[in-house]
A and B are shown apart, each in its own frame.
Chain A
Amino acid sequence: MLSISLILSAIALLALSGVPALFASTRSSPANRPAFGAPGAGVQAVLTLLALALGVAGVILAWTGYNPLATWLPTSAAGGQALLADAEARLRLDWFLPWGQFHVAIDPLSAFFLLPAFFLPVLGSLYAIGDRRLAGFSQDSRLLPLFYGLLAAAIALVIIARDGALFLIAWELMALAGYFASLFGRDRERGRRAGWVYLVATHLGTLCLFLMFAIYYRVSGSFTLEAGGPVWAPGLATAVLLLATVGFGCKAGFFPLHVWLPDFYAEAPAHVSALLSGIMSKMGIYGLLRILMLVPVTAAWMGYLFLIIGATSAVWGIAMALGQRDLKRSLAYSSVENLGIIAMALGLATLGRALGRPDFTLIGLSAALFHTWNHGLFKSLLFFAAGAVDRSTGTRDTDQLGGLGKRLPLVMALFMVGAVAIAGLPPFNGFASEWLLYNGLFRTLGSDAAVATHFVALAAVALALVGAIAVACFVKLTAAVFLGEARAPAIAAAARPVRSVSMALAMGFAALACLALGLFPAWLAPVFERVGACWTGVAVTVPGLLRYVPLRWLTLAGAGFLLALLVPVAFIVGRKLVRPPVVAGTWDCGYARPEPRMQYTGTSFGRSIVSLLSFMLRPRLKAPRLKACFPERSSFASTLPDLIHDRLVLPFFQLIGREAPRFRVLQQGRTHLYVLYILIISVVLLVMGRIASK
C-alpha cells in the first residue's frame, strides 16, 4: 500500500512537472537568464528527480515486500492492523466508468520497467535545460515540458495498470502526449507531417488492442489483468496473441509496422526522441510480456514467430540505418534493430515455455529485459548527442558534417561510448545483453533429441550479421559527424560550441550507466530470476541464471581488456612525451591539394554494404548516363527509400484516399443527421439485443 502510494505520487509529480513551465515568463531574453535558460526546464528537472526518488523508493518497497509502517506503527493500533493487512503493492478503486476499475499493482515485471520509466525522464529533462537554451525562446516551447511530463507519467501508468480499461486509457494518453511532445522539433512543418503518420499508425495499433481486450473480456469475464484466469480455448488464445503482436508490435516498431517511426523519432526534439525510443517503444515489449503472462502459451509457433519477426526487424532496421543521411533517422532505424533483438530474445523465452525448457526461458527473458534497459540508456545517450550536434550546427545531414570532434570533444567522446555500446561491443552493456542472447541461441544446438531446435540457432547467424552491420553503421555515424574534416566548411565554421553542464551531465550519466552495466551484469541476475519467476509463474529452480551463463566472467573480461589497454596507451603517451609528434597534413598519395570534399561521406562509406543488400533494400540511384561524345553537366543522387513505406503503406492509403470520399454522403456536417444516426443505431441494437435474448 505504501509502495503503491509512493509510485502513484511519483506519477502525479511527473504529470505535473511541466505545469510550472506554463507560468514561466517568456519575455526575458536568453541573455539575462543564463542559469535555468528555458522556461520551467530547470523546475521540471528537479521535479522529475523527486519523482525518481519517490518511484525508486516505491519500487524497492514493492520488490522487497518490506513495509516500514509495520515497524513504525505499534501493531496494537487498529490502523496499524489495517495497514499490515494491506501490505500488498496493489490499489483497487471503483470508478465512474461502467466497466473496469482503477486497479494498479506492482509485480516484479512492472518494477523492472518502472525503473527506466522514472530514470530516463530525469536524464531527458536535465538535457532539455541546455537544449532549450540553445534553441532560444518561443511562446509554445512552454508547452513542451507539460507534454513531456504527461508522456512520462502515462508510460509509468501503463506499466502499473492492472485493468484493461485503465490500461487502454493510459495507453491512449501516452500516445497523445507523445504526439504533442514531438511537435516542438526544429522543423515544425515536417514534425507535423511525421506526427500525423504516427497518429494514424498508433491508432491502428490501438484498434487491435481494443479487439484484443474485447476478446479477453469475453473469455475471462473481467478486465482484470492478473494471471490465473480461466482456461483459454486455443483458438481464442491464438487470436489474442496475434492481435497483441500487431497492436504492441506497432508501438515497438517491428518490421513491417515500423513505417511511422523513422520520421517521428527524427523530427521530435532530442530528449523527446530519447524518451520515445528509450521507453515508450518498450511499452510494446511490456505489453507482449504481460499478455504472454496472462494467456497461456502452449504452441511453439509463437516463439518461432517472434524469432522471425525479430530477426527480420533487426536486419532490416540496421541495414536501413546504415543507408540514412539524417543522423536522427539513422538512430531511429537502429531502434527497429534493437527492438528486433529484444523480440528475438522474447521468441527464445516463449519457445522455452512451449517446449518446457526453463533454460531457454530464463536466458531469453533475461536477454530481452536486459536489452530493454540497455537500449534505453545508449539510445538516450545517442539521441542527446545527436541533439547537441543539431543545436550546434543546425543540420543533421551526415554528408554535410564532419570534423566536429575538434569543436565538440566531449560530445564526441560520449557519442562514441554510445556507439560502441549500441554496436554490441565489449566492454559495454550492449555486449552483455547480446552475449546473453547468443548464449541462449547456442544452447538450442544442444543434443536434446526430443525436439529439433537446431535451426533456432540460425537466429544467431542473423544476430552476427546484424552485429557486423551495426559496427559499420555506428563507425559511419561517428566518422561522418565527428571525424575527419568538415564536408561543408560553411556549416562547420558556423558550428557553435556546446557548453552546457546539464547536457554533459545527462549524457555522462547515461555513458557511465552503459559502462557499469557492461562491467557488472552479474548483479542483475537475481533481478532477472525474480522477474522470470513472476512471468512464468514458476519459481526459478536451483541452477539459476548464473549457472547457465557465467555473467561474472564478463566483469573479468572487461577489466582484463581495460588493463590490456593500459600498456599500449602508456607506451604511446610516453613516446609522445619523449618525442612530440610532427604535425602535418594528411598524406594523400601525392595529391597536391587534398580537399574536404574528397573525403568518404557517410553515404559512400555505407554504399558497399547497401549494394550488397540491394536485393532487399532496393536503393534508388540517379546516375548520369553518357549519351554523346561530349557529356553535359550531370548529377548523381542515391537515396534509400523505405520499401515498405513506398510500395505497401503509401499505395494502400492512397487507395483509401481515392475510394473513401464516396462515403461523404453519410457525413456532410449536419449535426441533427448525426443525432439521427445515433438514434437509429441505438434502436437497431436494442431490437437485436431483445431478439438475441429471446
Chain B
Amino acid sequence: MIINLIVHFCLLILMPPLLLGIINKVKALFAGRRGPPLLQAYFDIGKLLRKGMVISRSTTWVFMAGPVVTLAAVFCAGTLIPLGRFAAPISFTGDLVLFAYLFGLARFFTTSAALDTGSAFEGMGAAREVTFAVLSEPALFLVFFVFVRLSGSLSLGEMLHLAPAGYVSGAVAPLVLVAIGLFIIMLAETCRIPVDDPNTHLELTMIHEVMVLDHSGPLLGIALYAAAMKLFVLSSLLLHVLQPFKSGLAWLDWLIFAGGMMVIAGTIGVVESVMARLRMNHVPHLLVAAIILCGAAFVLLVR
C-alpha cells in the first residue's frame, strides 16, 4: 500500500519528461533522423533550473506565479488520478470536478502570466488557450458522464477502475467513442499537433509555447516540466479506457502501466509525424467533434 503510494509519487514526479523524450524520438525516427537522446528533456529542464532569469520590466509577480501555480495545480491533479489499477493517493466523492477545475486554475495563471508581459504574441496565445478550453471543458465533462454512468461512482478512482468493465458488459461503443474524444481533448489540452505545434517557437500559430515566450531560466524550466506533467496526467486518464486489463501482481501492473504510458507517448509521436497542424480556425471543428463523440457516447448509454 505504502509502496504503491511511493511508486505513484515517483512516477508522477520523475516520468513526465520521459514522455517528451519518447515523442521526440518517434518523430525523429519518422523523419529519418537519430534525434535527441531519450532523456534530453531531463537535461533541458535541469539546465534551465540552474540558469539565471531575464524578466521583462512590464511584468509583476503574476508573471512568476504563472508557471509556479500551474505546476502546483497539475501536481495536485496528479495526486487525484489513479495510475493503472492502483488507488490514487487522494480520492473522494466528487474529486473529478476538482480534477477538471485544477486545470482551470492552471489556465487562469498561465494566461495571466502571458498577458502580463504586454506582448501581442503572448496575448494571442492566451486568447487561443482560453478559447479552446471553452470547447474542451464541456467535452471532458461529457467523458465523466459516461464514466459515472458506467460505474455509478463519483470519485475518479472507482470511476476509472469500474467503468472499463463496460467492455465486458456490452457498453463497448460508448467506451470507444469516449476513448477517441478523450484523445482529442488530451491533444488540445497539452497543446500537441494537430492543435498546436510544440516545436515552433517563432510562428504566430501556437498556443502553449507562445505563452511562455518570455519565461526564462528556472521559470521556463518549471513551465516545461508542468506541461510534461500535464501530458502525463491526462495520458494516464486515457490509459484507463485503452487498457483495462490487470494481472494482479503489483510489479507487473506497474510495468504494464509504464509501458502503456510509453505506447501513448509513441502514438502521440506518430500522430505528430503523420499530421500537419490544423489551421487555427479549424481547431474548433476538431474540438466540436470531440464534444459530439462524447455526447453520442452519453446518449448511447442513457437511451
Residues of A bordering B, CB below 8 Å: 402-403, 405-406, 409, 412, 416, 419-420, 423-426, 431, 434-435, 438-439, 442-443, 445-447, 452, 454-455, 457, 460-461, 464-465, 467-469, 471-472, 474-475, 478-479, 482-485, 549-550, 553-554, 556-557, 560-561, 564-565, 567-569, 571-572, 575-576, 579, 581-589, 594, 596, 598-600, 604-609, 612
The interface centre, meaning the residue of A550, A581, A598, A609 with most chain B CB atoms within 10 A of its CB, is A581
Contact of A588 among B119, B144, B219 (CB under 8 A): B119
Note all chain B residues with C-beta closer than 8 A to A445. 145, 148-149, 302
Contact of B134 among A406, A420, A465, A567 (CB under 8 A): A465
Note all chain A residues with C-beta closer than 8 A to B52. 575, 579, 581-582
The interface centre, meaning the residue of B64, B69, B100, B137 with most chain A CB atoms within 10 A of its CB, is B137
Note all chain B residues with C-beta closer than 8 A to A557. 76, 90, 95, 98
- Listed A/B pairs (7) with beta-carbon separation below 8 Å: A454-B149, A553-B95, A564-B76, A565-B68, A575-B217, A579-B53, A581-B54
Give the shortest distance, in Å, between A435 (CB) and chain B (any CB).
Answer: 5
Q: Is A605 touching B126 in the complex (CB atoms < 8 A)?
A: yes
Give the shortest distance, in Å, between A430 (CB) and chain B (any CB).
Answer: 10
Q: Is B123 touching A599 in the complex (CB atoms < 8 A)?
A: yes
Q: Is A426 touching B53 in the complex (CB atoms < 8 A)?
A: no
Give the shortest distance, in Å, between B46 (CB) and chain A (any CB).
Answer: 13
Give the shortest distance, in Å, between B183 (CB) and chain A (any CB).
Answer: 19
B120 adjacent to chain A (CB < 8 Å): yes
Contact of B154 among A443, A464, A554 (CB under 8 A): A443
Inter-chain CA distance A585–B302, complex, in Å, is 56
Inter-chain CA distance A600–B127, complex, in Å, is 9
Given contacts A550-B94, A565-B69, contact A600 B124 (CB under 8 A): yes
Inter-chain CA distance A597–B293, complex, in Å, is 42
Lowest 3 A-B CB distances belong to which pairs? A600-B123, A484-B118, A479-B115
Inter-chain CA distance A479–B120, complex, in Å, is 13
Note all chain A residues with C-beta closer than 8 A to B123. 599-600, 604-605
Given contacts A467-B104, A468-B138, contact A594 B119 (CB under 8 A): yes
Give the shortest distance, in Å, between A299 (CB) and chain B (any CB).
Answer: 23
A interface, by DSSP: helix, strand, loop or mixed? Answer: helix
Inter-chain CA distance A425–B119, complex, in Å, is 26
Given contacts A585-B57, A604-B127, contact A599 B72 (CB under 8 A): no
Given contacts A568-B222, A596-B118, contact A475 B97 (CB under 8 A): no
B140 adjacent to chain A (CB < 8 Å): yes
Q: Is B108 touching A471 in the complex (CB atoms < 8 A)?
A: yes
Give the shortest distance, in Å, between B127 (CB) and chain A (any CB).
Answer: 5
Q: Is B108 touching A425 in the complex (CB atoms < 8 A)?
A: yes
Q: Is A608 touching B131 in the complex (CB atoms < 8 A)?
A: yes
Note all chain A residues with C-beta closer than 8 A to B68. 565, 568-569, 572
The proximity string for B residues 102-138 relative to A, scoring 1 for CB distances below 8 Å and 0 otherwise, is: 1011011001100111111101101110110111111
Q: List the A residue with the shortest CB-CB distance to B60.
A: A405
Inter-chain CA distance A472–B145, complex, in Å, is 24
Inter-chain CA distance A93–B49, complex, in Å, is 74
Q: List the B residue with the shortest CB-CB distance to A447.
A: B152
Q: List the B residue with the shortest CB-CB distance to A606.
A: B127
Chain B interface residue count, CB cutoff 8 Å, equals 76
Q: Is A461 touching B138 in the complex (CB atoms < 8 A)?
A: yes
Given contacts A599-B118, A612-B131, contact A405 B92 (CB under 8 A): no
Inter-chain CA distance A556–B52, complex, in Å, is 35
Give the shortest distance, in Å, between A367 (CB) and chain B (any CB).
Answer: 12
B260 adjacent to chain A (CB < 8 Å): no
Note all chain B residues with C-beta closer than 8 A to A571. 49, 218, 222
Inter-chain CA distance A206–B136, complex, in Å, is 42
Note all chain A residues with C-beta closer than 8 A to B124. 600
B interface, by DSSP: helix, strand, loop or mixed? Answer: helix
Residues of B bordering A, CB below 8 Å: 49, 52-60, 62, 64, 67-69, 71-73, 75-76, 79, 90, 92-98, 100-102, 104-105, 107-108, 111-112, 115-121, 123-124, 126-128, 130-131, 133-138, 140-142, 144-145, 148-149, 152, 154, 202, 213-214, 217-219, 222, 284, 302
Inter-chain CA distance A468–B56, complex, in Å, is 29
Inter-chain CA distance A584–B67, complex, in Å, is 19
Inter-chain CA distance A585–B94, complex, in Å, is 45
Contact of B116 among A420, A467, A484, A576 (CB under 8 A): A484
Give the shortest distance, in Å, between A121 (CB) and chain B (any CB).
Answer: 31
Inter-chain CA distance A589–B118, complex, in Å, is 13
Q: Is A609 touching B134 in the complex (CB atoms < 8 A)?
A: yes
Q: With contacts A405-B60, A564-B72, A588-B119 known, what are 6 further pairs, Cβ within 8 A?
A: A409-B60, A464-B100, A554-B98, A561-B72, A582-B52, A599-B118
Q: Is A461 touching B142 in the complex (CB atoms < 8 A)?
A: yes
Q: List the B residue with the shortest CB-CB distance to A597.
A: B120
Given contacts A475-B126, A483-B116, contact A439 B57 (CB under 8 A): no
Inter-chain CA distance A443–B97, complex, in Å, is 13
Q: Is A589 touching B55 in the complex (CB atoms < 8 A)?
A: no
Give the shortest distance, in Å, between B20 (CB) and chain A (any CB).
Answer: 19
Q: List the A residue with the shortest CB-CB distance to B114.
A: A479
Q: List the B residue with the shortest CB-CB distance to A405.
A: B60
Q: Is B90 touching A560 in the complex (CB atoms < 8 A)?
A: yes
Given contacts A467-B101, A472-B131, A475-B126, contact A439 B93 (CB under 8 A): yes
Q: Is B93 touching A589 in the complex (CB atoms < 8 A)?
A: no
Inter-chain CA distance A598–B119, complex, in Å, is 7
Inter-chain CA distance A599–B122, complex, in Å, is 9
Inter-chain CA distance A73–B67, complex, in Å, is 64
Q: Is A424 touching B55 in the complex (CB atoms < 8 A)?
A: no
Note all chain A residues with C-beta closer than 8 A to B58. 403, 484-485, 585-586
Note all chain B residues with C-beta closer than 8 A to A594. 118-119
Given contacts A468-B130, A468-B138, contact A587 B214 (CB under 8 A): yes
Q: Is B55 touching A581 in the complex (CB atoms < 8 A)?
A: yes
Q: List the B residue with the shortest CB-CB distance to A409.
A: B60
Given contacts A438-B94, A600-B126, contact A467 B137 (CB under 8 A): yes
Q: Is A479 touching B76 in the complex (CB atoms < 8 A)?
A: no
Given contacts A416-B62, A553-B95, A588-B119, contact A425 B53 (CB under 8 A): no
Note all chain A residues with C-beta closer than 8 A to B105. 420, 425-426
Note all chain A residues with C-beta closer than 8 A to B133. 468, 471-472
Q: Is A465 touching B137 in the complex (CB atoms < 8 A)?
A: yes
Note all chain A residues with C-beta closer than 8 A to B219. 572
Q: Is B108 touching A475 in the complex (CB atoms < 8 A)?
A: yes
Q: Is A484 touching B54 in the complex (CB atoms < 8 A)?
A: no
Given contacts A557-B90, A568-B71, A576-B53, contact A439 B116 (CB under 8 A): no
Note all chain A residues with C-beta closer than 8 A to B144. 442
Note all chain B residues with C-beta closer than 8 A to A464. 100, 137-138, 140-141
Q: List the B residue with the shortest CB-CB distance to A461.
A: B138
Q: Is A560 touching B104 in the complex (CB atoms < 8 A)?
A: no
Contact of B127 among A425, A447, A460, A608 (CB under 8 A): A608
Contact of B108 among A423, A443, A586 (CB under 8 A): A423
Q: Is B115 touching A587 in the complex (CB atoms < 8 A)?
A: no
Inter-chain CA distance A483–B111, complex, in Å, is 11
Inter-chain CA distance A581–B117, complex, in Å, is 15
Q: Is A556 touching B134 in the complex (CB atoms < 8 A)?
A: no
